Amino acid sequence: MKEMSLTTPVALQNGTTIPLVGYGTWQTPDGDVARESVKQAIIAGYRHIDTAAVYRNEVSVGEGIREGLAATGLKREDLYVTTKIWCDKKGPHAKEAILESLKRLGLDYVDLLLIHWPIATAEKANDAWKKNNNETWKAMEELVREGKLRSIGLSNFRAHHIEALECEIPPVIDQLEIHPGYIQKETVDYCKEHGIVVEAWSPLGSGRVLGDPFLNEIAAKYGKSVAQLCIRFCLQYGVVPLPKSVHADRIVANTEVFDFEISEEDFNAILAMEQLGFSGNDPDGKLNF
Ligand code: A2P
Protein backbone atom coordinates (compact mmCIF):
# COMPACT_ATOMS: atom_id res chain seq x y z
CA MET A 1 0.00 0.00 0.00
CA LYS A 2 2.92 2.36 0.65
CA GLU A 3 3.74 2.69 -3.07
CA MET A 4 0.23 3.89 -3.84
CA SER A 5 -0.62 7.47 -4.72
CA LEU A 6 -3.62 9.75 -5.29
CA THR A 7 -3.83 8.56 -8.87
CA THR A 8 -3.45 4.82 -8.41
CA PRO A 9 -6.09 3.33 -10.73
CA VAL A 10 -8.88 1.40 -9.03
CA ALA A 11 -10.51 -1.07 -11.42
CA LEU A 12 -14.26 -0.78 -12.02
CA GLN A 13 -16.42 -3.63 -13.31
CA ASN A 14 -17.00 -1.91 -16.68
CA GLY A 15 -13.28 -2.13 -17.53
CA THR A 16 -12.47 1.52 -16.68
CA THR A 17 -10.53 2.80 -13.68
CA ILE A 18 -10.97 5.59 -11.13
CA PRO A 19 -8.15 7.45 -9.31
CA LEU A 20 -7.76 6.20 -5.73
CA VAL A 21 -8.42 9.54 -4.00
CA GLY A 22 -10.89 12.20 -5.13
CA TYR A 23 -11.38 15.82 -4.14
CA GLY A 24 -14.80 16.46 -2.60
CA THR A 25 -16.77 19.70 -3.08
CA TRP A 26 -19.86 19.19 -0.93
CA GLN A 27 -20.46 22.37 1.11
CA THR A 28 -17.95 24.30 -0.98
CA PRO A 29 -19.59 27.64 -1.77
CA ASP A 30 -20.17 28.47 -5.40
CA GLY A 31 -18.07 31.25 -6.90
CA ASP A 32 -14.44 32.11 -6.21
CA VAL A 33 -14.07 29.61 -3.34
CA ALA A 34 -15.06 26.62 -5.48
CA ARG A 35 -13.13 27.83 -8.51
CA GLU A 36 -9.94 28.51 -6.59
CA SER A 37 -10.04 25.40 -4.40
CA VAL A 38 -10.64 23.04 -7.34
CA LYS A 39 -7.72 24.68 -9.15
CA GLN A 40 -5.55 24.27 -6.03
CA ALA A 41 -6.57 20.62 -5.77
CA ILE A 42 -5.45 19.94 -9.34
CA ILE A 43 -2.16 21.75 -8.70
CA ALA A 44 -1.74 19.64 -5.52
CA GLY A 45 -2.06 16.46 -7.59
CA TYR A 46 -5.70 15.41 -7.33
CA ARG A 47 -6.91 14.02 -10.66
CA HIS A 48 -10.41 13.15 -9.50
CA ILE A 49 -12.99 15.84 -8.71
CA ASP A 50 -16.40 15.10 -7.23
CA THR A 51 -19.38 17.46 -7.41
CA ALA A 52 -23.18 17.24 -7.72
CA ALA A 53 -26.06 19.27 -9.10
CA VAL A 54 -27.44 19.78 -5.59
CA TYR A 55 -24.12 21.27 -4.38
CA ARG A 56 -24.99 24.19 -6.67
CA ASN A 57 -21.34 24.78 -7.51
CA GLU A 58 -20.99 22.99 -10.86
CA VAL A 59 -20.34 26.21 -12.80
CA SER A 60 -17.46 27.24 -10.52
CA VAL A 61 -16.14 23.68 -10.26
CA GLY A 62 -16.03 23.64 -14.09
CA GLU A 63 -14.11 26.94 -14.08
CA GLY A 64 -11.70 25.57 -11.46
CA ILE A 65 -11.14 22.51 -13.64
CA ARG A 66 -10.26 24.66 -16.65
CA GLU A 67 -7.96 26.86 -14.55
CA GLY A 68 -6.33 23.81 -12.97
CA LEU A 69 -5.73 22.25 -16.37
CA ALA A 70 -4.24 25.51 -17.67
CA ALA A 71 -1.98 25.83 -14.60
CA THR A 72 -0.65 22.27 -14.86
CA GLY A 73 -0.63 21.75 -18.62
CA LEU A 74 -2.87 18.71 -18.20
CA LYS A 75 -5.66 17.72 -20.59
CA ARG A 76 -9.32 17.04 -19.84
CA GLU A 77 -8.74 13.30 -20.23
CA ASP A 78 -6.14 13.41 -17.44
CA LEU A 79 -8.94 14.23 -14.99
CA TYR A 80 -11.77 12.12 -13.62
CA VAL A 81 -14.92 14.17 -13.02
CA THR A 82 -18.04 12.99 -11.20
CA THR A 83 -21.41 14.66 -10.81
CA LYS A 84 -24.79 13.48 -9.56
CA ILE A 85 -28.47 13.85 -10.36
CA TRP A 86 -30.60 15.08 -7.47
CA CYS A 87 -34.04 13.75 -6.38
CA ASP A 88 -36.07 16.57 -7.92
CA LYS A 89 -34.78 15.72 -11.42
CA LYS A 90 -35.12 11.95 -11.33
CA GLY A 91 -37.72 10.31 -13.57
CA PRO A 92 -38.95 11.20 -17.06
CA HIS A 93 -36.81 14.33 -17.43
CA ALA A 94 -33.58 12.86 -16.08
CA LYS A 95 -31.75 13.02 -19.38
CA GLU A 96 -32.26 16.77 -19.81
CA ALA A 97 -31.22 17.36 -16.20
CA ILE A 98 -27.97 15.43 -16.67
CA LEU A 99 -27.19 17.34 -19.86
CA GLU A 100 -27.80 20.58 -17.91
CA SER A 101 -25.15 19.46 -15.39
CA LEU A 102 -22.66 18.90 -18.22
CA LYS A 103 -23.50 22.35 -19.58
CA ARG A 104 -22.97 23.98 -16.17
CA LEU A 105 -19.62 22.19 -15.82
CA GLY A 106 -18.67 23.17 -19.39
CA LEU A 107 -17.77 19.55 -20.18
CA ASP A 108 -18.66 17.35 -23.16
CA TYR A 109 -18.79 14.27 -20.94
CA VAL A 110 -18.32 13.25 -17.32
CA ASP A 111 -16.41 10.21 -16.19
CA LEU A 112 -19.04 9.22 -13.65
CA LEU A 113 -22.67 10.14 -13.07
CA LEU A 114 -24.40 8.97 -9.91
CA ILE A 115 -28.01 8.84 -8.76
CA HIS A 116 -27.43 10.96 -5.67
CA TRP A 117 -30.08 9.64 -3.32
CA PRO A 118 -32.28 6.52 -3.46
CA ILE A 119 -35.54 7.92 -2.11
CA ALA A 120 -37.16 11.35 -2.03
CA THR A 121 -39.57 11.81 0.87
CA ALA A 122 -42.64 12.09 -1.36
CA GLU A 123 -41.82 8.84 -3.15
CA LYS A 124 -41.52 6.74 -0.07
CA ALA A 125 -45.08 5.82 0.82
CA ASN A 126 -46.00 4.12 -2.45
CA ASP A 127 -42.64 2.82 -3.60
CA ALA A 128 -42.59 5.42 -6.42
CA TRP A 129 -38.84 5.68 -5.84
CA LYS A 130 -38.30 2.34 -7.59
CA LYS A 131 -39.92 3.56 -10.83
CA ASN A 132 -38.15 6.89 -10.51
CA ASN A 133 -34.73 5.29 -10.09
CA ASN A 134 -35.36 2.87 -12.97
CA GLU A 135 -36.43 5.66 -15.34
CA THR A 136 -33.38 7.63 -14.32
CA TRP A 137 -31.08 4.67 -14.79
CA LYS A 138 -32.47 4.08 -18.30
CA ALA A 139 -31.68 7.71 -19.19
CA MET A 140 -28.17 7.25 -17.80
CA GLU A 141 -27.68 4.09 -19.87
CA GLU A 142 -28.73 6.01 -23.00
CA LEU A 143 -26.24 8.75 -22.19
CA VAL A 144 -23.49 6.13 -21.80
CA ARG A 145 -24.31 4.89 -25.30
CA GLU A 146 -24.25 8.49 -26.57
CA GLY A 147 -20.78 9.05 -25.08
CA LYS A 148 -21.87 11.70 -22.55
CA LEU A 149 -21.22 9.50 -19.51
CA ARG A 150 -18.28 7.12 -19.21
CA SER A 151 -19.54 5.29 -16.14
CA ILE A 152 -22.71 5.28 -14.06
CA GLY A 153 -23.35 4.50 -10.44
CA LEU A 154 -25.21 5.22 -7.24
CA SER A 155 -24.87 7.18 -4.04
CA ASN A 156 -26.35 6.46 -0.61
CA PHE A 157 -27.98 3.27 -1.91
CA ARG A 158 -28.36 0.39 0.54
CA ALA A 159 -28.60 -3.22 -0.63
CA HIS A 160 -32.39 -3.17 -0.97
CA HIS A 161 -32.26 -0.02 -3.11
CA ILE A 162 -29.65 -1.62 -5.37
CA GLU A 163 -31.67 -4.84 -5.60
CA ALA A 164 -34.66 -2.82 -6.90
CA LEU A 165 -32.65 -1.36 -9.78
CA GLU A 166 -33.39 -2.83 -13.21
CA CYS A 167 -30.28 -2.36 -15.28
CA GLU A 168 -28.63 -3.43 -18.50
CA ILE A 169 -25.43 -1.66 -17.43
CA PRO A 170 -24.63 -2.54 -13.81
CA PRO A 171 -23.59 0.25 -11.41
CA VAL A 172 -19.83 0.50 -10.92
CA ILE A 173 -19.83 2.71 -7.80
CA ASP A 174 -21.83 3.32 -4.64
CA GLN A 175 -20.78 6.53 -2.89
CA LEU A 176 -21.58 6.35 0.82
CA GLU A 177 -20.89 8.37 3.93
CA ILE A 178 -17.93 6.52 5.45
CA HIS A 179 -15.46 7.57 8.12
CA PRO A 180 -14.19 6.35 11.48
CA GLY A 181 -17.37 6.15 13.51
CA TYR A 182 -19.59 5.32 10.53
CA ILE A 183 -18.32 2.36 8.54
CA GLN A 184 -21.58 1.07 6.96
CA LYS A 185 -20.21 -2.47 7.00
CA GLU A 186 -23.36 -4.18 5.70
CA THR A 187 -23.60 -2.01 2.58
CA VAL A 188 -19.85 -2.09 1.97
CA ASP A 189 -19.86 -5.90 2.17
CA TYR A 190 -22.84 -6.09 -0.21
CA CYS A 191 -21.08 -3.82 -2.73
CA LYS A 192 -17.88 -5.85 -2.55
CA GLU A 193 -19.82 -9.06 -3.20
CA HIS A 194 -21.40 -7.44 -6.28
CA GLY A 195 -18.25 -5.90 -7.77
CA ILE A 196 -19.32 -2.35 -6.88
CA VAL A 197 -16.50 -0.06 -5.74
CA VAL A 198 -17.39 2.07 -2.72
CA GLU A 199 -16.47 5.74 -2.46
CA ALA A 200 -16.44 7.57 0.88
CA TRP A 201 -18.12 10.95 1.10
CA SER A 202 -17.24 12.94 4.21
CA PRO A 203 -14.22 10.76 5.05
CA LEU A 204 -13.52 13.23 7.89
CA GLY A 205 -17.12 13.02 9.05
CA SER A 206 -17.55 16.58 7.70
CA GLY A 207 -15.09 17.53 10.43
CA ARG A 208 -17.23 15.84 13.13
CA VAL A 209 -14.56 13.34 14.16
CA LEU A 210 -11.50 15.60 14.07
CA GLY A 211 -11.73 16.39 17.80
CA ASP A 212 -12.30 12.79 18.88
CA PRO A 213 -9.80 12.02 21.70
CA PHE A 214 -9.34 8.36 20.71
CA LEU A 215 -8.58 9.23 17.06
CA ASN A 216 -6.26 12.03 18.19
CA GLU A 217 -4.32 9.56 20.31
CA ILE A 218 -3.92 7.13 17.42
CA ALA A 219 -3.02 9.86 14.91
CA ALA A 220 -0.32 11.19 17.26
CA LYS A 221 1.35 7.74 17.32
CA TYR A 222 1.98 8.06 13.58
CA GLY A 223 2.85 11.77 13.68
CA LYS A 224 -0.21 12.46 11.55
CA SER A 225 -3.32 14.62 11.85
CA VAL A 226 -6.72 13.04 12.48
CA ALA A 227 -7.72 14.15 8.96
CA GLN A 228 -4.81 12.17 7.49
CA LEU A 229 -5.63 9.19 9.74
CA CYS A 230 -9.25 9.21 8.51
CA ILE A 231 -8.22 9.31 4.84
CA ARG A 232 -5.69 6.52 5.39
CA PHE A 233 -8.36 4.53 7.23
CA CYS A 234 -10.58 4.70 4.14
CA LEU A 235 -7.75 3.45 1.92
CA GLN A 236 -7.08 0.49 4.21
CA TYR A 237 -10.84 -0.16 4.43
CA GLY A 238 -10.80 -0.51 0.63
CA VAL A 239 -12.92 2.54 -0.22
CA VAL A 240 -12.12 5.60 -2.36
CA PRO A 241 -12.03 8.70 -0.12
CA LEU A 242 -13.23 12.13 -1.30
CA PRO A 243 -11.84 14.59 1.29
CA LYS A 244 -13.02 18.19 1.03
CA SER A 245 -11.17 21.33 2.05
CA VAL A 246 -11.21 24.84 0.67
CA HIS A 247 -7.82 25.68 2.21
CA ALA A 248 -4.69 25.20 0.10
CA ASP A 249 -2.59 23.93 3.03
CA ARG A 250 -5.20 21.33 4.03
CA ILE A 251 -5.75 20.31 0.40
CA VAL A 252 -2.04 19.44 0.30
CA ALA A 253 -1.93 17.91 3.82
CA ASN A 254 -4.81 15.60 2.89
CA THR A 255 -2.65 14.09 0.13
CA GLU A 256 0.11 13.08 2.58
CA VAL A 257 -1.36 9.71 3.43
CA PHE A 258 0.99 7.34 1.62
CA ASP A 259 4.00 7.43 3.96
CA PHE A 260 2.46 5.52 6.86
CA GLU A 261 0.30 2.50 7.50
CA ILE A 262 -2.24 2.03 10.30
CA SER A 263 -1.34 -1.14 12.20
CA GLU A 264 -3.83 -3.99 12.20
CA GLU A 265 -4.49 -3.44 15.89
CA ASP A 266 -5.23 0.28 15.48
CA PHE A 267 -7.25 -0.33 12.31
CA ASN A 268 -9.42 -2.87 14.13
CA ALA A 269 -9.82 -0.49 17.07
CA ILE A 270 -11.05 2.22 14.68
CA LEU A 271 -13.46 -0.24 13.06
CA ALA A 272 -14.81 -1.08 16.52
CA MET A 273 -15.34 2.57 17.54
CA GLU A 274 -18.77 3.59 18.68
CA GLN A 275 -20.89 4.32 15.59
CA LEU A 276 -22.04 7.92 15.38
CA GLY A 277 -24.71 7.36 12.74
CA PHE A 278 -25.29 9.20 9.50
CA SER A 279 -24.81 12.96 9.22
CA GLY A 280 -28.47 13.88 9.49
CA ASN A 281 -30.08 12.02 6.60
CA ASP A 282 -31.18 8.43 6.50
CA PRO A 283 -31.40 7.04 2.94
CA ASP A 284 -34.65 5.32 3.96
CA GLY A 285 -36.04 8.19 5.96
CA LYS A 286 -36.98 11.81 5.76
CA LEU A 287 -34.79 14.04 3.64
CA ASN A 288 -33.77 17.15 5.57
CA PHE A 289 -32.08 19.13 2.83
P1 A2P B 1 -12.27 23.44 5.28
O2 A2P B 1 -12.93 23.21 3.95
O3 A2P B 1 -12.57 24.78 5.86
O4 A2P B 1 -10.80 23.10 5.27
P5 A2P B 1 -15.24 15.90 4.79
O6 A2P B 1 -14.19 15.73 3.77
O7 A2P B 1 -15.44 14.75 5.69
O8 A2P B 1 -16.56 16.39 4.22
O9 A2P B 1 -14.75 17.04 5.79
C10 A2P B 1 -14.64 18.35 5.40
C11 A2P B 1 -14.53 19.25 6.63
O12 A2P B 1 -13.28 19.04 7.28
C13 A2P B 1 -14.58 20.68 6.23
O14 A2P B 1 -15.19 21.39 7.29
C15 A2P B 1 -13.10 21.06 6.10
O16 A2P B 1 -12.93 22.43 6.35
C17 A2P B 1 -12.47 20.22 7.18
N18 A2P B 1 -11.09 19.78 6.84
C19 A2P B 1 -10.69 19.24 5.69
N20 A2P B 1 -9.37 18.90 5.75
C21 A2P B 1 -8.96 19.24 6.98
C22 A2P B 1 -7.72 19.14 7.65
N23 A2P B 1 -6.64 18.63 7.05
N24 A2P B 1 -7.65 19.59 8.92
C25 A2P B 1 -8.74 20.12 9.54
N26 A2P B 1 -9.93 20.24 8.98
C27 A2P B 1 -10.06 19.79 7.70
**Per-residue confidence in pLDDT tens, the chain, 289 aa:** 558 999 999 999 999 999 999 999 999 999 999 999 999 999 999 999 999 999 999 999 999 999 999 999 999 999 999 999 999 999 999 999 999 999 999 999 999 999 999 987 777 777 889 999 999 999 999 999 999 999 999 999 999 999 999 999 999 999 999 999 999 999 999 999 999 999 999 999 999 999 999 999 999 999 999 999 999 999 999 999 999 999 999 999 999 999 999 999 999 999 999 988 777 678 887 665 5
Angstrom distance (rounded) from CA 221 to CA 234: 18
Mutate to test the pocket of ligand 1, among 201, 204, 246 (most ligand atoms within 8 A of CB): 204
Write b or e for each residue in 54-66: b if 16 or more Cβ atoms lie within 10 A of its Cβ, otherwise e: bbebbbbbbbbbb
What is the CA(62)–ligand 1 centre distance, in A? 21
Q: Which residues line ligand 1 (CB under 6 A)?
A: 24, 202-207, 210, 225, 227, 243-247, 250, 253-254
| Whole-angstrom distance, CA of residue 87 vs CA of residue 84 | 10
pLDDT at 232: 98
The beta strand positions in 119-223, using DSSP E, are 149-155, 173-177, 197-201
Ligand 1, atom 17, lies closest to the CA of 207
Cα R_g (the chain), whole angstroms:
18
Integer Cα distance of 98 and 84 in angstroms: 8
Distance CA 289, CA 280 (A): 9
Query: Which residues participate in catalysis according to the annotation?
Result: 55
Cα separation, 265 vs 268, in Å, equals 5
For residues 108 and 97, what is the distance between their CA atoms, to the nearest angstrom?
14
